[in-house]
Amino acid sequence: MTLPHRPILETRTLDWPDEAACAATAAALAAAPELRDATIELHGALGAGKTTFVRHLLRALGVTGRIKSPTYALMEPYEVGGLAVSHFDFYRFADPREWVDAGLRDVFAAPGLKLVEWPEQAAGLLPPCDLRMELAVLDGDRRRVTVHALSPRGRALLAALAA
């Protein structure tokens, strides 16, 4: 089953000279009420900073304790302030149908924030996202992040980054 691809409504490019800039972006998103039921896809090479960004976002939302990468578990769930957050990592998927076999359809249908690393590994099966972040490694700790809004909710989140 292939789901429709949403058109890009708006795009913004961010430069992160260091990890503090990554944390600031995460804090800006965490303050946006539209984040509650958003789905955010994170694209980028190994080491681009996808998991680092998610950790900063979870901390900004109020998650305490250890924040693990879901590379082996596929999903790490969190509950903070009445908000359900699911952090996914599909890096190890060899076939997009593994997403269905893992029983994740119900998780994506439930309310809450979904943060998805390596979404291309489940290509065509994930519901459309609200925000797509493409992280590119520059020199040293610098990153260029292209953020695409793919829904009205995504557009509101993108506006929160500009505020």
Contact 156, 131 (CB under 8 A): no
**Answer CATH for 11-162 from 1.20.120.340, 1.10.275.10, 3.20.20.70, 3.40.50.300:** 3.40.50.300
Contact 115, 51 (CB under 8 A): no
Q: Would you write out the chain's pLDDT as a tens digit for each of its 163 residues?
A: 344 566 878 999 999 999 999 999 999 999 999 999 999 999 999 889 999 999 999 999 999 988 877 666 688 999 998 999 999 988 877 776 776 777 788 888 999 999 999 998 887 788 899 999 999 999 888 999 999 999 999 999 999 998 6
**pLDDT at residue 104 in the model:** 81
Tokens of 119: 């979404």
* pTM (global) more than 0.75: yes
**pLDDT at residue 72 in the model:** 61
Contact 14, 147 (CB under 8 A): yes
Closest C-alpha to 90, from 64, 51, 59, 38: 51
**pLDDT at residue 71 in the model:** 66
Contact 40, 133 (CB under 8 A): yes
With a CB cutoff of 8 Å and minimum separation 6, the contacts of 106 are none
> What is the residue extent of each domain of the chain?
11-162
